Chains A and B, each alone.
Chain A
Amino acid sequence: MNLLLEYQSQLIDGTIMTIKLALTSLVIALIFGLLGAWAKLSANRLAQRLAGAYTTIVRGVPDLVLILLVFFGGQVTLNNIGAITGLWGYVEVSQFAAGAGTIGVIFGAYFTETFRGAIMAIPRGQIEAGISCGMRKSLIFRHIIWPQMVRFALPGFTNNWLVQLKTTALVSVIGLQDLVYNAFTAGRSTGQLFTFMAAAFVIYLLLTGVSDLLLRSVERHYNRGVVRA
């Protein structure tokens, strides 16, 4: 316990890094997810194909492989291109951008499917009714699609978010000092690995517990007026 207090700044820094990473990658994932769902449901063949390739590739490769590929491979490739074309010298891919970006793009693929399923769950007749009332596309989206899409997507969203929060632990491989990394180095440095891993365990549980509570109240909000069967 004394050791945990002594190393508390390390644990707090790590926790903040984990939260920052998770939130940044969530924003990226939501953007990719909405774009992907839109592309998959659009009439445009090319958009459909691109989104299909995106979800197939990203969901088919281990997260760790992608992170390493982007962080190390991406930097080597950038520098090689620079060296061959002579356009730029040495460039550095930042660890945070690589980590948050990669996790965001990975989970964007899962959110694509979540959003697509949610939009498809909205009865087509409601949209047709909107059209027949003379509503414009934007109005239909705001008043018919969005509120129901959010409601249908929330359980899947919660699921994705919890997995994403835990996936941020992978970035310790690329040297980002997140909760797992800091707990591990502190544990190894003091010879009390178990103590620090237990602390990390509790902190992760707190983070997921809090997000579960918050998301449940959001879910209640979007379920106003819905009678459960």
Chain B
Amino acid sequence: MFRRTILSSVAAIALSAVALPLAAQDTLRIGVEGAYPPFSSKESDGTLVGFDIDIAKALCAEMQRECELVEQEWDGMIPALKARKFDAIVASMSITEERKRQIDFSDKYYKTPARLVASKDADFEGTPEGLAGKRIGVQRGATHQCYAEKLFPDAEIVLYGSQDEVFRDLALGRVDAQLSDSLIAQESFLSAEAGADYAFLGGDHTDVECYGEGVGIAVRKGEDALREDLSKAIAAIRENGTYAEINDTYFPFDIYGGRPEGE
């Protein structure tokens, strides 16, 4: 009796572990996150909202495919993709060399450009010539420091440990301008009290060497048809205005960040 109980519960566990094979071909399953506002977050009733979520839905509509959004915690995102829990990731995942060894990416669907920020009444321009001899604050590291040193060889580059310190010293007037991610500058400085007298200086900076290729949609290696379909769909919603509509719901400027390389 005892033995039979154990056997049947083991069998039950085994059966529930091996659910029925899914018709993985028809529905496109997309892995999304729920804890990265404004790109993805959760309403109090559990509904997923955000830029990534809207983009995923728009791409599905564009590709005319049935989609299912699968919520996945960030740390397990790539393993879950590889284990076929879903077929694509739309979760603000930056295209990096390290990730490309494991998975493939579509063309970028956004790349928040870097921008300079300076006082509203700055009497210089955001060009290499305009900033010659000026002090530019950047966060130390592979991205903004790399680009600042490359583009502004005649300026004095002041390095900081964190982006907060850069903003603070800009507000104190210790540097003439700062270079950072435009979205971060907007959200945590320009729209705050400390940044009231400051504004963006010049346009977008999207250098691939220092800033990478942007944020793409991840698919498993070898899924070239899906990858190309997604890239085409991104181009299509850029073209037909759907992207702009979604973008404007969340951001005060276009976060697509210029055209991809080679266009």
Residues of A within 8 A of B (CB): 6-7, 9-10, 13, 27-28, 31, 35, 68, 71-72, 74-76, 78-79, 88-94, 96-98, 101, 172-175, 177, 181, 184-191
Contact = CB atoms under 8 A, between A and B. Distances in A.
B225 interface: no
B192 interface: no
Interface in B34-85: 34-37, 41-46, 70-73, 75-76, 79-80, 82-85
Given A9-B45, A90-B22, A188 B35 contact: yes
Contacts, number: 96
Contacts of B73: 172-175, 181
Among B9, B44, B46, residue most surrounded by chain A Cβ atoms (within 10 Å): B44
Contacts of B151: none
Contact of B41 (A72, A175, A177, A188): A188
Given A172-B73, A189-B35, A72 B46 contact: no
Interface string B188-228: 00000000000000000000000000000000000000000
Contacts of B172: none
B13 interface: yes
B45 A98 contact: no
Contact of B9 (A10, A31, A181): A31
Given A10-B44, A10-B46, A189-B35, A90 B76 contact: no
Nearest to A76: B83
B17 interface: yes
B102 to A, nearest CB: 13
Given A7-B44, A35-B6, A92 B34 contact: no
A68 B79 contact: yes
A200 to B, nearest CB: 14
Interface string B1-38: 00000100100010011110110100000000011110
Contact of B13 (A68, A71, A101, A172): A101
Contacts of A184: 35
Interface of A is mostly: helix
A83 to B, nearest CB: 11
A194 to B, nearest CB: 14
A75 B83 CA distance: 6
Nearest to B6: A31
B71 A173 contact: no
Given A94-B16, A175-B85, 16 more contacts: A9-B46, A28-B9, A31-B6, A68-B76, A79-B83, A101-B17, A173-B73, A173-B76, A174-B73, A174-B76, A175-B73, A175-B76, A175-B80, A185-B42, A188-B41, A189-B42
A187 B37 CA distance: 11
Given A94-B19, A174-B76, A188-B35, A9 B44 contact: yes
Contacts of A88: 21
A6 B6 contact: no
11 contacts: A27-B9, A28-B13, A68-B76, A72-B76, A74-B17, A75-B85, A89-B21, A90-B21, A96-B16, A175-B80, A189-B34
A154 to B, nearest CB: 22
Among B6, B72, B83, B84, residue most surrounded by chain A Cβ atoms (within 10 Å): B83
4 cross-chain pairs, A with B, having the tightest CB-CB distances, nearest first: A189-B41, A188-B35, A97-B17, A6-B44
Contacts of B18: 78, 91, 93
Among B37, B42, B82, residue most surrounded by chain A Cβ atoms (within 10 Å): B42
Given A9-B44, A31-B9, A177-B71, A72 B83 contact: yes
A93 B18 CA distance: 5
A27 B13 CA distance: 12
A90 B86 CA distance: 12
A97 B10 CA distance: 12
B42 A97 contact: no
A12 to B, nearest CB: 11
